[in-house]
Structure 1
């Protein structure tokens, strides 16, 4: 029986992930046509293969990977040519070619793609002789064509808004963090230990979101460097790159908070009724901080300042609420949650850059009710 929900899910994934499909199809086709018609290679296999290999790398690493692919092909072709001329095409030739190629690649420090590409290139040359004897190094030229085409296509697909994927990642990461805090709040309100444990499992997976943000910064930097007229926007990336460190701290704080929430949900005494509202207020602060960073990336300074101000206001309100919760006789898990609300607030405000570190610490501790010298 056909499940329409599966089709809808597939359509949704395709709608959000259309970019790799377009890039791969266009780059492989153009690379094949250029190698076949312009270069004149009767077997232009390496051109689309190199294009797909480069596109298969994380965005932000493609220029370096393209160079590695070309150098790997050059090394593999050179070794294979010399060995084939000396030994002919035999089983021993395959053994010798792979041994020498991989050994040389490791000796010069090649790893990953460049090492594999050198070995595959050499093996292909041994297994499939060229159609015509020629002095033109078609396979090397094919790899060069494929790498260049991959970079150009990757750039053109995102040329209009090179920062858009990173903006989307920022929004998604902060929304996930806010949703996570809301889940913890709901679990504590309901004293639902399984729900609190599920929130903790989600919190443990948030490190991947931070890694995607770092990849997004590298990809956006690569796109901007290739786009001459948009290089002035690189300054925006520097501010976000610095903020990612604070986002990483926020993720860790929320994970510890979620772990304390699991413990608190299992206590015989119910948590304070206002705790859920405090965590939801912190979730609102997280969303406002995400909106500030996204607006900064979009170049909307006025909106970025407005959201940053909102993030500061809501954050300090959540800290004040947390300070009122911690009264004498409260449990250790509650103390841990209050402590992580404070830590999260500090890192959020540092991330949106509302003030210097000393001023942030002072305002947060004053809101919490701590004596500030």
Structure 2
């Protein structure tokens, strides 16, 4: 019995040690994940700070100049609304500042009109305030105003009602302040401190393109190792790319606005046009790469064959994306990006010739389609891109590749382009 009791004690100690080892491993894994997320978060925050430095400088300059103009030139002793309007104009999404200025002025006009009229008829008080705000919103919505105009009208109405008892003749200074603040903001954006539109675009494009290249690299490595989990993680990360794509689209609109308003940036219009035309094919490349990676997960799950050229094709796509980023940033013709895109297609053709399963044929097709998107993003027409892709895919007479096509019944239909 003593021997049995000792065995039970040893067994319990062993179980505790096993649980302790598992808990220690989990704690270590959790700490490693938190450390990685903390580093990634810090990088993201520093990147956002770098992106916002130009806007911060513009907003600070515009606020100071707006206050100075309203106070010194127009004689307004309390020009509160001029810097507010200036910052409000600059704080809106870049690419919409001119429209935002017009909306500010219209919203202020509606708020002043409704607030002044109802104060004259009904006086001031809490229920009058509620009625003024409701009336301003209903009127702007009925007139078809945007959300910005509605908010500005309601905010102006609130200020008119709450400050009118203590500040005389508030309405006209408020309206003039809005015009001064919005005008100063546009002056700073267009003349005094215009941002370099290409630099803004490069900074905004890099996160989206780096994300795409990184997940394609992970997918290529995952196929070589048949690591389904790593490919799935790449798919999940690429699916959460809305923030990167939104930043790129916003930067393109802002750069186009800067090139339109700022004489100092007019010579950049042709380069900006090229960037703007690249936005849609880059978005398509993101989506098609998502399909590629999703099928790669299925390919590994179904234990389909992975010909050696298939991961190479995907890795070449990643390199093409990186080169596109680099050549865009340097203002060069993206010839290397085109070359590596076609290399990816050629390797996909070799993989197809070696024999692939159903999901493998979809991966091959998506390599072709994504490469076509990257070629279009580089400035090639869609028709020419498709021709180049077909030509590269057909170059199968190479060492280590089957000399002739398999019988039609033994191989899937040729993958489409585009």
Tell me, yes or no, whether TM beats 0.5.
yes
TM value normalised by structure 2: 0.78
- CA deviations over 1:193-222 (Å, ceiling 9, x no partner): 221111111221234433332222211111
2:139 to 104, 117, 124: 104
Give the drift of 1:87.
1.0
- Equivalents in 1 of 2:80, 2:238: separation in Å? 45
Deviation at 1:366, TM superposition (A): 2.3
Greater Cα radius of gyration, structure 1 or 2: 2
* Contact 2:160 2:171 (8 Å CA) reproduced: no
* Structure-2 change in CA distance of 1:227 and 1:220 (3 Å): same
Root-mean-square deviation (CA, aligned residues, Å) is 2.8
Compute the displacement of 1:156 (Å): 5.3
Give the corresponding residue for 2:302. Answer: 267
Q: Post-superposition shift, 1:263? A: 1.5
C-alpha distance 95-223 of structure 1, shift in aligned 2 (>3 A)? same
Structure-1 residue corresponding to 2:408: none
Q: Which residue in 2 is equivalent to 1:87?
A: 122
Distance 2:40 2:376 in 1: 42
Q: Which residue of 2 aligns with 1:349?
A: 375
Q: What's the CA shift string for 1:87-137, capped at 9, x where partnerless?
A: 111233213211221111011111211110001101111011265534871
Corresponding residue for 2:351?
Answer: 325
Residue 71 (structure 1) shift: 1.1
- Structure 2 residue aligned with 1:65, among 100, 125, 142? 100
Distance 1:7 1:337 in 2: 32
The secondary structure found in structure 1 opposite 2:197 is coil
Residue 157 and residue 330 in structure 1: after superposition, are their counterparts in 2 closer, same or farther (change >3 A)?
farther
The 1:183–1:51 alpha-carbon spacing in structure 2 relative to 1, beyond 3 Å, is same
Identify the residue that residue 6 of structure 2 maps to in structure 1. Answer: none
Runs (4+) of structure 1 exceeding 6 A deviation are 3-8
The equivalent position to 2:219 in structure 1, one of 184, 194, 209, is 184
Unaligned runs of 5+ in 2: 1-34, 395-413
Counterpart of 1:52 (choices 87, 91, 97) is 87
Measured in 2, the distance between the counterparts of 1:112 and 1:56 equals 15
Q: Cα distance, 1:178 vs. partner?
A: 1.4
Give ranges in structure 1 of 5+ residues lacking alignment: none
Paired residues of 2:195 and 2:258 also in contact (CA < 8 A):
no
Q: Identify the match of residue 233 of structure 1 among 268, 272, 290.
A: 268
Report how many aligned residue pairs link the two structures: 360
Alignment of structure 1 residues 1-373 onto 2, 5 Å: 13-129=48-164, 131=166, 133-134=168-169, 137-155=172-190, 159=194, 161-268=196-303, 271-295=306-330, 298=331, 303-304=332-333, 307-308=334-335, 310-327=336-353, 330-354=356-380, 356-369=381-394
CA distance in 1: counterparts of 2:273 and 2:51, whole angstroms: 27
The change in CA–CA distance for 1:157 and 1:170 in structure 2 (over 3 A counts) is farther
CA offset digits 1:36-92 (Å, max 9, x no partner): 333233332222221222122110101100110111011101111111111111233
In structure 2, the residue corresponding to 1:58 is in which secondary structure?
coil
> Partners of 1:230 and 1:11 in 2: how far apart?
27
| TM-score calculated relative to the size of structure 1 | 0.86
Is contact 2:191-2:263 (8 Å) kept? Answer: no
**Contact kept? 2:278, 2:376, Cα under 8 Å:** yes
Structure with the bigger RCO (C-alpha within 8 Å, sep 6+) is 1
**1:340 Cα deviation from its structure 2 partner:** 0.3
CA displacement at 1:361 relative to structure 2: 1.8
Distance 2:96 2:362 in 1: 40
Do 2:190 and 2:258's aligned partners in 1 also have CA atoms closer than 8 Å? yes
User: How big is the shift at 1:257?
Assistant: 0.7
Structure 1: distance between partners of 2:298 and 2:40: 37
